[in-house]
Amino acid sequence: MNLLRRLRHLPRPRTLRARLITGLVVLLAVSCAAVGVAAVIELNGFLTGRLDQQLQQTGASFPESLEHGQFRPSDRDGDEHGDTRRQAAGTFGARLVKGQVTNAALIPADDDPDLTVGLTARDRAALAELPADGRGHSVRLASIGGYRLLAWTGRDGDVLIIGLPLEPVRAAVHRLELVSAAVFGLALAVAGVAGALWVRWSLRPLSRVADTATRVSELPLASGEVALPPRAPESDPRTEVGRMATAFNRMLRHVEDALTKRHASEERLRTFAADASHELRTPVASVRGHAELALLHPGPVPPEITRALQRITAESSRMGEMVDDLLLLARLDAGRPLESQPVDFTHLILDAVTDARAAGPDHRWTLDLPEEPVTVTGDTHRLHQVLANLLANARLHTPAGTKVTVTLETEGRTAVLRVHDDGPGVPKDIQPGVFERFTRAEHRRRADSPGGGAGLGLSIVAAVVEAHGGKVVLESTPGSTTFTVRLAATATA
């Protein structure tokens, strides 16, 4: 369980290249391990079988001679007391009578004539349990080490045992294990490097497709003219990577066509809005002028006519402002540069709040300005329009008695303007599109605000701020609404 938990916490390869290389190395390691284990088992079995054959060929002459009694130095010559002729050094012999070891001897590797061996009680018990079936059995004796033993039943009903040491077999197997580990380790290292190079070369077309997709994902596709990067190199269409590259390039062509058509449509709409706004300015101004002229008529005018003329004048004025706003948005969309000069943002805020206080005396207006003036670079008229629209928005969409707080501060090289009110807030369903054009929250609008505007005020705020390289965001909950404008501040001397 602990091993499984550790394996689960091991870092796993994430990229396709790393997974392929890891899989290749793991499969090769498993194959090498299987070959190595099979070779070790086979060699161990082969050498053990050779020992069994050697023991069977040697026969029971040595253990049979043990029944003659104790050994003397002359026993090494092979007299009647112990037949050691043609016996390999390290050969073990023993005789058991009724389960008890009566004699045991070991042929030494040197010229030492002493053949006796001291067996422990556990060794004697192991020899007594050895089956007399004429087959080889591996037994470890504490006094002499690991041995391959064969046991027979003698003519006198005794059990005769002969054995050869297993140390040569184990040494050969251990050497094979070391050689296999070294060879397979080297093979794994070479295969890992070669596999990494091969996988990298094979996945090179896929990497190019991924690079192209990354460049496309970094492009601003929301609006404007978009130039897509060069297509991904196409490879053999019979391969999976080749088919994917072909499909990806085809998708890019469709996307490019769609973006081109969308840009052309936007350009036509922008041109139409600019032309229509420009052309409407004259008739709107003419209607307003004629209505004002009619109101100046010295003769008696019925009250109904006077009211109608006043409404015509008011609505034509409102339409003129709307036309001007549309023309401004069209110019900003076309990327026409604004004026760029130092603007005393603090003074601009003071003027805008003064105007708002005069237009909305039933609201509570407060200011929180820094001691030192804050200067930004931009268009004075357009920045004043941003302030006027934000304050008008707070005045028109909140009830009387609402507190509106205007705060200006600096954060490093950034001027931060906040317009906060404790009114009912902006509905959640329109917050995502509050800076889009013609976004209107009808149920939040003041009853005494005729028409309530065209829904262009906040879109002009966003467009002008973005044209100045800034950003405007909205945070609104019931009882708290804050518009935050961030602009680059100019360092003061």
- Burial letters 419-438, b for 16+ CB under 10 A, else e: bbbbbbbbeeeebeebbebe
- What mean pLDDT is predicted for residues 156-170? 88
| Shared domain check, 195 and 296 | no
Q: 211 lies in a domain? A: no
Task: Supply the CATH number for residue 404's domain.
Answer: 3.30.565.10
| Shared domain check, 171 and 52 | yes
Q: 210 lies in a domain? A: no
| Shared domain check, 372 and 307 | no
Alpha carbons 40 and 46: distance in angstroms, whole number = 10
Whether pLDDT at 69 is above 90 = no
Whether pLDDT at 223 is above 90 = no
| pTM > 0.95 | no
Note the pLDDT of residue 175: 92
| Shared domain check, 348 and 453 | yes
Split into its structural domains, the chain has a count of 4
Alpha carbons 159 and 98: distance in angstroms, whole number = 8
| Shared domain check, 424 and 329 | no
Q: 215 lies in a domain? A: no
| Shared domain check, 44 and 177 | yes
Whether pLDDT at 158 is above 60 = yes
Are residues 156 and 54 in contact, defined by beta-carbon separation less than 8 angstroms?
no
Are residues 291 and 316 in contact, defined by beta-carbon separation less than 8 angstroms?
yes
Give residue-wise pLDDT tens across range 401-434.
999 999 999 988 999 999 999 989 888 888 888 8
Note the pLDDT of residue 313: 80
Give residue-wise pLDDT tens across range 166-179.
888 999 999 999 99
Provide the residue range defining the domain that includes 30: 13-57+167-202
| Shared domain check, 233 and 91 | no
Final residue in a domain of this structure, among 286, 306, 336: 336
Alpha carbons 192 and 187: distance in angstroms, whole number = 8
Alpha carbons 364 and 395: distance in angstroms, whole number = 10
| Shared domain check, 401 and 294 | no
Final residue in a domain of this structure, among 310, 336, 362: 336
Decide: helix, strand or coil at residue 160.
Answer: strand
| Shared domain check, 45 and 78 | no
Single-letter amino acid code for the residue at 491: A
pLDDT grade for 225, boundaries at 50, 70 and 90:
low
Whether pLDDT at 466 is above 80 = yes
